[in-house]
């Protein structure tokens, strides 16, 4: 059975609209859950207002950046406006702005539902773990459905309107550039507040985690929303768009050579099925009265995975697609699950690495840090092997089809790995919602039984978050390898037009390639350092503010009735610091990419991207897993092991968690987006690098 690509574009639009309708139903379901506690409503409103204020200020800054970037794109891309077709430049600039708007909407939707779901989840815990879990999970699923629906709809509309894959790269760059800054800004905000609240509250004063006396506690809860919800939504929106864009650039090139649209149709068909599988997976997610929340989250992921495998096989048979391409996407998905399981082993509080770090904490914080770093580095091997095997398997599977199909196979492995991203986002957004719910339960004084339930949900969120981050990093790895293929396609298309020699790969013995390789490898480390120094500077300012309040507000430390800390001062410090620090790190990576391209041309950029991909993946995996390990080691001690709360081991574990916070929630996940951004900048500027570099 053969259909034109228009059929698959229309199917993609219909599936996107179904996901929006389902997201709307989930939103109403969560909103209609009962809530009557005045104190929780009051704190929930403070969190909601703080998150909305930060997001408004952040998007105002980013709108200015996007405006300047759009003008530069209009003038210079895909070719300088005075040399090329003016319409192409206008389309590219509009596609870029379209990408930034879609990415921003992903963040807004996330904040809107998360600040409702946290209140509902906290109060539902009074009726048991099942209703509380369902409120948290379905709150996260609103984000999952809306973000992936937006991805598929955005990519489909750009292709339908422009029929131009270069414009699609512009759309992807818009999504990536906004995600880069949103993730960095949100990450700096959330970890500033988290570190400050923990160090002064837990270590210095020995007060509980979400004690309302702590001036940073509301800022910490706001941070969960702006960093782990809005930032993460933009991040995974960007990864999903980039994987589809890379696959479509290569598919269009192959279709042009062969005549027909079968490869482009395959990408849209598989992406639509992935979203459909996620919708069914979310709709069937259930938990018994005394069930295990981690098991419930993981089982819905496995249901979605199996559905995708079966439905894509059926579609491949029905529409006469290439079985080897299906094999490549199945390999990608399978390896994604394996990377998730490996991340789980190193971060789950029922496994040995967490127990060993907790034990090491008894001897002091130096051993907490040393053991955590060691396990963090160890955890990178399974994931790196997984990415390597999936890339190699996809390459070898698809190579016999014909020239260019090997790289298309890798791109489809990335599409396969990200096919269930709707479920991944749902699980990921669940984490900060239940984390906030735990804080609200404590501040609303709902009792120990409720706290026990919210702790159990929070622990599951942390465990699953490590799995989803491993998944996201693995998918980013395959996506950027595919983007390397898209870069070669873009260069060769320009080379044909200009009558220049085409490129087939990059020889690392070529000094220009090696020059790019070394610089590219150093960028993720510089980028991470800039973000973490931002957290460091900001947290020091907030710690001083907390000390001032405890010193100057009489009765605050003792918890006298009617004495309330100045929460807004801490929110202001986190907001101001995050906005000040979020642009420089991202801008440095883009500027260095452009400089390397104009110095060494496309060969240097090829090396630069390879170095950036490898060191970026290594650092992202290490930081995400080490951070998750420290966090769960602290929670393991807090649950009564190795001395329990208030012990020396607990204080050492809090120090470990403080180091791990910017690792796992600021720098680690932002590296994915940094790699994608430099890959897209390289592809978009490939013609300029081909013609205007110092060394060809």
* pLDDT reading at 131 higher than 70: yes
Specify the range with the lowest mean pLDDT, choosing from 165-174, 364-373, 557-566. 557-566
pLDDT of residue 628: 87
Question: Average pLDDT of the chain?
Answer: 88
Residue span of the structural domain in which 594 resides: 5-692
The model's pLDDT over 629-682, given as tens digits with 9 standing for 90+, comes to: 998 899 899 888 999 888 999 989 989 998 998 998 889 888 988 998 999 899
**Run of H or E including 644:** none
Cβ count within 10 A of residue 302: 13
Average of per-residue pLDDT across 55-76: 90
Residues 6+ apart with CB under 8 A from 422: 19, 144, 145, 147, 148, 274, 275, 278, 279, 281, 282, 304
Taking CB atoms within 8 Å and a gap of at least 24, the contacts of 29-34 are 29/138, 30/113, 30/116, 30/117, 30/120, 30/135, 30/138, 30/139, 30/142, 31/116, 31/120, 33/120, 33/123, 33/124, 33/131, 33/135, 34/123
* pLDDT reading at 581 higher than 80: yes
493/277: higher pLDDT: 277
Is 0.95 topped by the overall pTM?
no
Which of 99, 76, 72 has the alpha carbon at shortest distance from 88?
76
* pLDDT reading at 290 higher than 80: no
* pLDDT reading at 83 higher than 90: no
Per-residue confidence at 470, pLDDT binned at 50, 70, 90? Answer: low
- Characterize 188-212 residue by residue with b for buried, 16 or more Cβ atoms within 10 angstroms of its Cβ, and e for exposed: bbbbbbbbbbbbbbbeeeebbbbbb
Average of per-residue pLDDT across 689-695: 86
DSSP assignments along 654-686, one per residue: HHHHHHHHHIIIIIHHHHHHHHHHHHHHHHHTH
Q: Are 358 and 633 in contact (CB under 8 A)?
A: yes
Question: What is the C-alpha to C-alpha distance for residues 182 and 404, in angstroms, rounded to an integer?
Answer: 35
Counting the structural domains of the chain, the total is 1
Which of 357, 347, 372, 302 has the alpha carbon at shortest distance from 470?
347
């Amino acid at each position: 059975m053969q259909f034109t690509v228009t059929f698959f574009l229309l199917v993609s639009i219909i599936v996107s609209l179904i996901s929006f309708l389902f997201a709307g139903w989930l939103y109403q379901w969560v909103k209609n859950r009962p809530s009557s506690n005045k104190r929780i409503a009051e704190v929930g409103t403070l969190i909601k207002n703080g998150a909305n204020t930060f997001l408004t200020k952040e998007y105002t800054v980013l709108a200015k950046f996007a405006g300047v970037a759009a003008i530069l794109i209009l003038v210079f891309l895909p070719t300088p406006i005075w040399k090329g077709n003016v319409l192409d430049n206008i389309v590219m600039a509009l596609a870029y702005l379209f990408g930034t708007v879609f990415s921003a909407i992903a963040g807004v939707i996330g904040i809107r539902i998360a600040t409702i779901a946290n209140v509902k989840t906290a109060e539902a815990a009074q009726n048991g773990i099942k209703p509380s879990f369902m409120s948290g999970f379905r709150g996260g699923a609103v984000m999952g459905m809306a973000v992936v629906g937006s991805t598929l709809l955005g990519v489909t509309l750009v292709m339908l309107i422009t029929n131009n894959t270069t414009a699609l790269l512009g759309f992807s760059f818009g999504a990536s550039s906004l995600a880069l800054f949103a993730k960095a800004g949100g990450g700096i905000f959330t970890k500033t507040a988290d570190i400050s609240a923990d160090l002064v509250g837990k270590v210095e004063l020995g007060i509980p985690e979400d004690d309302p006396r702590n001036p940073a506690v509301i800022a910490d809860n706001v941070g969960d929303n702006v960093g782990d919800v809005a930032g993460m939504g933009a991040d995974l929106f960007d990864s999903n768009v980039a994987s589809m864009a890379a696959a479509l650039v290569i598919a269009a090139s192959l279709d042009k050579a062969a005549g027909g649209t079968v490869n482009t149709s395959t990408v849209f068909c598989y992406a639509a099925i992935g979203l459909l599988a996620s919708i069914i997976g979310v709709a069937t997610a259930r938990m018994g009265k005394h069930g295990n929340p981690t098991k419930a989250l993981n089982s819905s992921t496995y249901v979605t995975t199996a559905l995708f495998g079966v439905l894509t096989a059926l579609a491949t048979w029905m529409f006469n697609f290439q079985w080897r391409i299906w094999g490549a996407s199945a390999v990608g998905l399978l390896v994604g699950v394996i990377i998730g399981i490996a991340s789980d082993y190193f971060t789950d509080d029922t496994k040995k690495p967490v127990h060993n770090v907790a034990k090491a904490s008894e001897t002091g914080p130096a051993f907490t840090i040393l053991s955590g770093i060691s396990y963090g580095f160890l955890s990178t091997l399974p994931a790196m092997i997984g990415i390597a095997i999936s890339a190699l398997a996809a390459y070898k599977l698809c190579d016999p089809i014909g020239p260019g199909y090997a790289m298309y196979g890798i791109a489809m492995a990335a599409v396969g790995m990200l096919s269930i991203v709707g479920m991944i986002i749902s699980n990921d957004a669940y984490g900060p919602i239940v984390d906030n719910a735990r804080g609200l339960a404590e501040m609303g004084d709902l009792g120990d039984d409720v706290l026990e339930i919210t702790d159990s949900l929070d622990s599951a969120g942390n465990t699953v978050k490590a799995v989803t981050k491993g998944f996201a990093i693995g998918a980013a790895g395959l996506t950027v390898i595919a983007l390397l293929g898209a870069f070669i396609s873009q260069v060769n298309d320009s080379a044909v037009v200009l009558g220049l020699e085409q490129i087939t790969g990059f020889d690392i013995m070529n000094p220009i390639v090696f020059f790019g390789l070394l610089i590219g490898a150093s960028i993720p480390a510089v980028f991470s350092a800039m973000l973490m120094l931002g957290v460091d500077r900001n947290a020091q300012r907030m710690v001083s503010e907390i000390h001032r309040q405890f010193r100057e507000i009489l009765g605050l430390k003792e918890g006298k009735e009617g004495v309330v800390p100045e929460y807004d001062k801490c929110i202001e410090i986190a907001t101001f610091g995050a906005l000040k620090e979020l642009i420089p790190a991202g801008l440095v990576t883009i500027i260095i990419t452009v400089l390397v391209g104009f110095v060494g041309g496309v060969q240097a950029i090829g090396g630069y991207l390879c170095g950036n991909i490898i060191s970026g993946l290594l650092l992202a995996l290490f930081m995400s897993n080490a951070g998750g390990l420290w966090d769960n080691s602290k929670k393991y001690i807090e649950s009564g092991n190795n001395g329990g709360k208030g012990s020396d081991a607990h204080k050492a574990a809090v120090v470990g968690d403080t180091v791990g916070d910017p690792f796992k929630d600021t720098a680690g996940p932002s590296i994915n987006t940094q790699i994608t951004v430099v890959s897209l900048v390289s592809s978009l500027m490939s013609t300029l690098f081909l013609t205007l570099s110092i060394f060809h």
